[in-house]
Every structure is written in C-alpha cells, then in structure tokens.
Amino acid sequence: MSQSDIWTERYRPTKFEEVVGQQEVVKRVRSLVQALNIPHILFAGPAGTGKSTLALIIVKELYGDKWRDNYLELNASDERGIDVVRQKVKDFARTKALGSVPFKVIFLDEADALTKEAQQALRRTMENYTNTCRFIMSCNYSSKIIDPIQSRCVVLRFKLLEKKDIAEVIKRISEKEKLKLAEDVYETLYEASEGDCRRAINLLQATAAITPDINSEMIRIITAKTRPVDIRAVLEYALSGDFLKSKEKLLDVMLRESISGTDVIKSIQKEIWNLPIEPEIKVRLTEKTGETEFRIVEGSDEFIQLEALIASFVLAGQGKTL
C-alpha cells in the first residue's frame, strides 16, 4: 500500500450507512444482502465514488468474520488475460462456500481493463458456477464490458460525489486526526477532487503532513493547479484587447507555478462561464477551448496553442466572428 493510500484505507466505511452520496445504490444493495441472495453485480461509475468500498461491505455483511475465506479480489488492470479467468477465477468459483451463505464472492476491480477474450471466457464461468459463486465487478466505463456479461448482471451506476458528501468525509477525518481546517478548505478540496473522494482524502493527508492548520492556499500548492484569479486576469486582458499582457501573464502563471497546458485549459474552461460576455460567445469560446485541448493532447506545442486560444478571446472582445 502506498503512503498516500493509508488514510483512504483507515477511514474506509465498514457499514452501509457510512457510505456517502450513493443512497439509491446502497438502498438496493442492502435489500439484496438482507435476502442473502445477491445476483451478479456490475458497479459502474467514476473513480473514488465508493465502488470497491461497497463491494467489501457486501462481503462483510454476508459472511461476518469468515469473509476472507469466501472472498477473492482481483484487479483486472493487473491480471487481465484469459489465463486468469481460466485458472484463478474458475478454481475459486467451483469450490463450496464456508458458512451458511451458499455461495462465494469474486470481486473483479477495474473489469473494463479485461481483454475481450477474457470477458468471453468469464461469461461462461459466470453461467456455469452461479450456484457456488457470485461476481461483483467494478468499472469506470460500462460500455467496455461486453453485452453478454452486462445482461447477466444487475448494473448499478455510481455518480460523482457532491460538495456536501466530500465535506462530510473530510470533516469526519479532520476530527479524528485533530486537524484545524479553514472554512474555505472544503470548497477548495471539492474543486480539486472534482467529486473523487479518494483524491480529496489524499490531498488532505498530503497537506496535513506539513501542518495540522490547513488553509485553501496550501491545498492549491499541493495540487499544483492554477488559481482562478490568475486565469481570470489572463482572460480579462485578452477580452480588453491587450494580447501581449495576456500572453505575459499566462507565461508567468505557467512558469511560476509549473502548470501544464492541459491544467490551464481546464481552468480556462471553468472560468469562461464567469466572464461578463454574451452566452453565445461563451459557447463559441468553450468550443475553441475543446479544440485547443485536443491539439495539445495530440502533441502540439502547448504554449503556441494557448496563445492561439488567447487570440480567440481577443477577437471575441472586439466583437469579431470566431
């Protein structure tokens, strides 16, 4: 386990009621567990929203202290070939469960990383050993899971956590770790994590390693992201028609804080909607931002592309067609 995962594991929820932000999913899963007859399940959704945590809670609720004897966890991004399905998975699935629950549970994390051949082999295993084994799979993109597997599973979709959910988790941890958080830290952590609870916890842990008195500026230093006020200054210079000042400010931000072009693009995209310009122009500038981001990802020089984007803002400020 890496150093940054220690708090994530230490404060992992152990009961259904401790899971935040996924009330509908938890409600459905709890009713299945209480009936002691869960189907094959596919958890789909963004990273850091509680998929792996909920799988562990299911197993612990079913088997109690004997959960380790009836549970196999595989990370499909590491073990993704057909041999894993034919050997590890099949050998575990064909043996009888210990205890009163008549089946074992196999948890395949990041199942969307399984090869197509492995998924085809897995669907037969799911079919043949349903009496002795249930599969719980998690993935970020359910579209990468073949249809025959999806049709054999109950698909439960997780959503990104809201600000109040992240704040609840951070408050719980800060009280136990005796941290003193400024009022604006919750907002900053939410913006930096973008609804990913694991990332928010890791950022808090990294900052707490420096000092127990935490403010939003320290979070921004750890995340190495641009401050909204700096990006707003870049865009305001451009809209006023001062291309050179806008370019100098952008260069200063990127060099002083070592910010990558893709991070700048994301900050620009968010800040566009706070600018005092017409909605139609905001839409066109957002489209330009998307084109610039694509070119940077494809390998173009990021500063030249960002200069071209700033030029679009200059033209927008002068009322010219983009």
- Among 204, 223, 242, identify where a domain stops: 223
Q: What number of other Cβ atoms are within 10 A of residue 97's Cβ?
A: 19
Residues 41, 151 within the same domain:
yes
Q: 265, 285 in Cβ contact below 8 A?
A: no
**DSSP of 149-202:** HHHHSEEEE--PPPHHHHHHHHHHHHHHTT-EE-TTHHHHHHHHHTT-HHHHHH
13 occurs within a structural domain: no
| Domain of residue 278, residue span | 228-317
Q: Say what the pLDDT of residue 117 is.
A: 85
Q: Say what the pLDDT of residue 114 is.
A: 85
Q: Say what the pLDDT of residue 136 is.
A: 93
Residues 207, 249 within the same domain:
no
Put simply, whether the predicted model's pTM sits higher than 0.85 gets the answer no
Lookup: tokens for 70:
């009836």
- pLDDT tens digits along 124-137: 888 888 888 999 99
16 occurs within a structural domain: no
- Among 198, 223, 248, identify where a domain stops: 223
Residues 93, 110 within the same domain:
yes
Q: What is the CATH number of the domain that holds 255?
A: 1.20.272.10
Instruction: Render each residue's pLDDT in the chain as its tens digit; 322 residues.
Output: 455 578 888 888 889 988 998 999 999 999 989 888 889 999 999 999 999 999 999 999 999 888 988 898 888 666 666 666 677 778 888 888 888 888 999 998 988 888 888 888 888 888 888 888 999 999 999 999 999 999 999 999 999 899 999 999 999 999 999 999 988 889 889 988 888 999 999 999 988 988 889 888 888 777 766 777 888 899 999 999 999 999 999 988 888 777 888 888 988 988 898 888 888 889 999 999 999 999 998 988 898 999 999 999 999 888 776 6
Residues 77 and 98: their CA atoms lie apart, in Å, by 29
Q: How many domains does the chain have?
A: 3
Amino acid identity of residue 157, one-letter, is R
99 occurs within a structural domain: yes
Q: What is the CATH number of the domain that holds 80?
A: 3.40.50.300
Residues 176, 106 within the same domain:
no
CA angle 7, 8, 12 (to 5 degrees): 110
